[in-house]
Amino acid sequence: MLLEMRDICKDYPQGKELVKILKHVDLTIEEGDYLAIMGPSGSGKTTLMNIIGCLDVATSGTYRLNGEDISRASENHLADVRNTTLGFVFQSFYLLPKLTARDNVALPLLYAGVKKRVRRERAEEALTMVGLADRIDFMPSQLSGGQQQRVAIARAMINQPKILLADEPTGALDSTSGHQVMDLFDELNGRGTTIVLITHEPAVGQRARRVRRILDGRLLAEGEGGVGDAW
């Protein structure tokens, strides 16, 4: 079992009181899985994703990732887990505007302590893999949205993570670029990368192997809530 969440709750203070955002979430993900999480706006998808991605810690419950108990890990250890075990893709890419595509992609390797020459080589390979071999030295501002998102995917994959986490990766893209990104995800999953994806779009959700719906902070059982409904 790659990932196991038991009874995860997350509260946020809103004004004076605590608001329960995630309510008793149980989730297991096996190696090689491809899971889409869908739900209406404000239902807690990003909150759940942040906890899965070790960017945030749950208020209660246990979370085991890759065989270790994450709930009690130190801040530095969480940073290392994010660096090596997880890859992130965000809706608005988050590339550093002053770095070239190659340097953006190589950044996680810098934090992993990889030598500069190796970083450059591997960044080049990763960019080739996402089909941007001819855009290696471009600045983000010189790339289209779809290209930027593929650079971000190359960055997420550079450390060969166990899980790729994507929060609405196609949300800011036109349908053609969106398709390209989804094809890339299929390909990565085909090569064994576990993918967890958040999306609004049923078409995107359908390409995953499984879909889990989240409603008002509760994660519904598989198949519950229907597949075809658009929120």
Ligand X SMILES: Nc1ncnc2c1ncn2[C@@H]1O[C@H](COP(=O)(O)OP(=O)(O)OP(=O)(O)O)[C@@H](O)[C@H]1O
Nearest-approach distance from CB 18 to Mg ion, in angstroms: 20
| 107 lies in the site for other proteins, by CB under 8 A | yes
DSSP assignment string, 157-201: HTT--SEEEEESTTTTS-HHHHHHHHHHHHHHHHTT-EEEEEES-
Q: At residue 111, what is the residue type? A: Y
Q: How far apart are CA 159 and CA 144, in angstroms?
A: 24
Nearer to ligand X, 45 or 213 (CB): 45
* Distance in angstroms between the alpha carbons of the first and the last residue of the chain: 31
Nearest-approach distance from CB 116 to Mg ion, in angstroms: 36
Tell me which stretch binds Mg ion (CB under 5 A): 4-12, 24-32, 42-50, 150-158: 42-50
Check residue 221 and report its DSSP letter. Answer: P
Nearer to ligand X, 126 or 165 (CB): 165
Instruction: For Cα atoms 56, 215, 57, give the angle at the middle one, nearest 5 degrees.
Output: 10
Q: Which partner from the list other proteins, ligand X, Mg ion, none does 203 bind, CB cut-off 5 to 8 Å by kind? A: none
| 115 lies in the site for other proteins, by CB under 8 A | no
DSSP H/E element including 117: helix 116-129
Q: Which partner from the list ligand X, other proteins, Mg ion, none does 83 bind, CB cut-off 5 to 8 Å by kind? A: other proteins
Q: CB–CB of 39/167 below 8 Å?
A: no
Q: Which partner from the list ligand X, other proteins, Mg ion, none does 150 bind, CB cut-off 5 to 8 Å by kind? A: none
Nearer to other proteins, 103 or 205 (CB): 103
Q: How far apart are CA 63 and CA 83, in angstroms?
A: 18
Q: Which partner from the list other proteins, ligand X, Mg ion, none does 82 bind, CB cut-off 5 to 8 Å by kind? A: other proteins
Nearest-approach distance from CB 36 to ligand X, in angstroms: 13
Q: CB–CB of 67/2 below 8 Å?
A: no
| 46 lies in the site for Mg ion, by CB under 5 A | yes
Q: Scan residues 12-71 and list those touching ligand X (CB under 6 A).
A: 12, 14, 21, 39, 41-47
Q: Which partner from the list ligand X, other proteins, Mg ion, none does 102 bind, CB cut-off 5 to 8 Å by kind? A: none
Instruction: Please report, for the chain, how many H helices and E strands are present, in that order.
Output: 7, 10
Summarize as ranges the residues that interact with Mg ion (CB under 5 A).
46
